Amino acid sequence: MFKIGVLVSGGGTNLQAIIDSITAGELSGIEIASVISSKKDAYALSRAEEAGINAQYIGRGDYKSSAEYERALIDRFEGFGVELVVLAGFMIVLGETFLNAYENRIINIHPALIPSFCGDGFYGLKVHEAALARGVKVTGATVHFVTGETDGGPIILQKAVYINEDDDAASLQKRVMEEAEWTILPEAVRLISEGRLKIEGNIVRRI
């Protein structure tokens, strides 16, 4: 079994998309070994428990430094034999300690077509507000490997979503999730688990 660990902070619809893909038999040989939430009341925790997945709240506030917090996450994941870490709406920026422990083995889903509407400060509804304010006609989602640069790591998959005349930030967020995020995140997990990707500098190639 290829074991993944999922870091969450919120509703967990992307976690649910991975759970559903596994249940549907689309991610054979893949197991969600551990889910960790940075927020105690995150609905993502209930989704994990409902699916019988080991889930735990580990709060940043209980640790003196980021390095100690990240060490706790690493210990937990290593204890479960996690080979790939999926950031699915995780609201804490990971530092060197975690990035070094899981180098080239951390992926993130971002709700825009990187390099548009990404980087520091672009999270949640703000991403979609910025896209609407710029008047772009196409947006989407991106799955990428995580490096020290916010949203700057090698791009794995992207999917476009057309913007409707009557979209507001909330409706656009919902459609980007439904039409892009929930498809490309499980797909990226599958490609990695099958050893189908190779990173060359900042470029991901299919092998």
Enumerate binding residues for ligand GRF (CB under 6 A).
8, 10-14, 44, 88-89, 109-111, 177, 181
Residue tagged 């006609």 (tokens): 137
Q: Give 155 or 205: the residue with its C-beta nearer to ligand GRF.
A: 155
Q: Give 14 or 21: the residue with its C-beta nearer to ligand GRF.
A: 14
Q: How far is the CB of 13 from ligand GRF (least distance, A)?
A: 3
Q: Give 26 or 75: the residue with its C-beta nearer to ligand GRF.
A: 26
Round to whole Å and give the CA distance between 183 and 17: 8
Put residue 133 in one of left, alpha, beta given phi > 0 → left and psi -120 to 50 → alpha: alpha
Q: How many residues does the chain have?
A: 207
Give me the DSSP letters along 128-166.
HHHHHHHT-SEEEEEEEE--SSTT-SPEEEEEEEEPPTT
Q: Which residues pair with 85 in a beta bridge?
A: 5, 106
Of 52, 67, 65, 59, give the one whose Cα is nearest residue 19: 52
**Chain CA centroid to CA 125, Å:** 16
- Does the active-site annotation cover 128? no
Residue nearest to ligand GRF (CB): 89
Q: How far is the CB of 195 from ligand GRF (least distance, A)?
A: 25
List CB contacts of 45: < 8 A, sequence separation 6 or more.
8, 12, 35, 37, 55, 57
Q: Give 170 or 199: the residue with its C-beta nearer to ligand GRF.
A: 170
Q: How far is the CB of 159 from ligand GRF (least distance, A)?
A: 12
| Active-site pick, 5, 18, 110, 173 | 110
Q: Give 109 or 131: the residue with its C-beta nearer to ligand GRF.
A: 109
Q: How far is the CB of 92 from ligand GRF (least distance, A)?
A: 12
Contact 82, 3 (CB under 8 A): yes
Q: How far is the CB of 143 from ligand GRF (least distance, A)?
A: 9
Active-site amino acid positions: 110
